[in-house]
Amino acid sequence: MSDDVQSPARRRLLRDIALLVGATAVSPQIASALMAAGDSEAASNPSRGLTSSHFQLVETLSEIIIPQTDTAGAIGAGVPQFIDALVASHYPPEHRRRFRRGLEDIDALPMDSATDGFLHATQQQQIALVEKLDRQAFAQESELPGNVFFREFKQLVLFGYYTSEIGATEELRYQPIPGEFKGCVPLREIGRAWATY
């Protein structure tokens, strides 16, 4: 829609994409996911709780956790906008600060090659780092701040993704009004997990 293209949110999104595409190693996956996100309603919210570099970190991290496959990934489902809104209006100031610090700490982690932070690393490097963070976070009940942050972040990504319209209706199965309860149904008739209890 031409209106949409002209909207500040749309312009901002295109600027963000341009920024990312201009960066050394944005993956085609993330770029196409961003393009797709431009059509979703959630994506038209301007960033509120996060700075633009924090927002990019959230996009990159969340899309690595839930990538686009045959269905949309985290970015396509509007997860970064959900997290942004949550940080802006759900978190009290101290929690907000802690969350931003958690993102910054990830960006400051040393990468294998001489690149300038997480956002500028190659996609392979980014994925390898997130895999490592993930393993560490769930290895033991580690209470190191980095691990606590990663667990919280992953939980938000999953929550944001599977409660989104795409996550609930395209990735999983969703019935707003089932109308009846059947206690024994072959799984193949449903095919995937229900999104809601």
Partner 1 sequence: MKEKIYDVIVVGSGISGGWAAKELTENNMKTLVIERGPQKVHRQDYPHDFSNPWDLEQRGMVPEQLQESDYATQKKCYVFNEFSRDRFVNDRENPYVQEKPFDWIRGYQTGGRSLLWGRQSYRWSDLDFGANKRDGHGVDWPIRYRDLAPWYDHVEEFAGISGNRDNIPQLPDGIFQPPMPMNCVEKEIKSRIEKAFPERRMIIGRAAHLTDPKPVHTELGRGKCQYRNQCYRGCSFGAYFSSLSATLPAAERTGNLEMVHDSIARDIIFDPQTGRATGVRVVDRLTLQERVYRARIIFLCASTLGSTQLMLNSVSDHFPNGIANRSGALGRYLMDHTMSAGAFGTVDGHLDSYYSGRRPNGIYIPRFRNLQRQGEDYLRGFGYQGGAMRPSWQRRGQKAGIGLALKERLRQPGPWVFHLAGFGEMLPYRHNRVSLDPEKRDRWGIPLLRIDASWGENERKMREDMASSAVEMLQAVGIGDATPIKQDHAPGLAIHEMGTARMGRDPKTSVLNGYNQCHDVKNLFVTDGAAMASSACQNPSLTYMALTARAVDHAVKEIRAGRL
User: Nearer Cβ to partner 1, position 19 or 142?
Assistant: 142
Residue 19: its H or E element = helix 8-22
Distance CA 105, CA 5 (A): 35
Find residue 173's DSSP bridge partners: 194
Residue 123: its H or E element = helix 123-139
Work out how close the CB of 143 gets to partner 1 at its nearest, in angstroms, rounded to a whole number.
15
Work out how close the CB of 95 gets to partner 1 at its nearest, in angstroms, rounded to a whole number.
7
Binding site for partner 1 (CB under 8 A): 42, 64-67, 69, 82, 85-86, 89-92, 95, 127, 130-131, 134-135, 137-139, 151, 154-155, 158-160, 162-165, 168, 171-172, 174-190, 192-197
Distance CA 163, CA 157 (A): 10
Work out how close the CB of 193 gets to partner 1 at its nearest, in angstroms, rounded to a whole number.
4
The answer to whether 196 and 174 are in contact (CB under 8 A) is yes
Q: Nearest CA to 105 among 86, 129, 125?
A: 129
Work out how close the CB of 147 gets to partner 1 at its nearest, in angstroms, rounded to a whole number.
11
User: Nearer Cβ to partner 1, position 67 or 117?
Assistant: 67
User: Nearer Cβ to partner 1, position 52 or 138?
Assistant: 138
Distance CA 148, CA 99 (A): 10
Work out how close the CB of 2 gets to partner 1 at its nearest, in angstroms, rounded to a whole number.
26
Work out how close the CB of 114 gets to partner 1 at its nearest, in angstroms, rounded to a whole number.
25
User: Nearer Cβ to partner 1, position 15 or 132?
Assistant: 132
Tokens at 119, concatenated = 């956002």
The answer to whether 77 and 167 are in contact (CB under 8 A) is yes
Distance CA 74, CA 164 (A): 9
User: Nearer Cβ to partner 1, position 35 or 172?
Assistant: 172
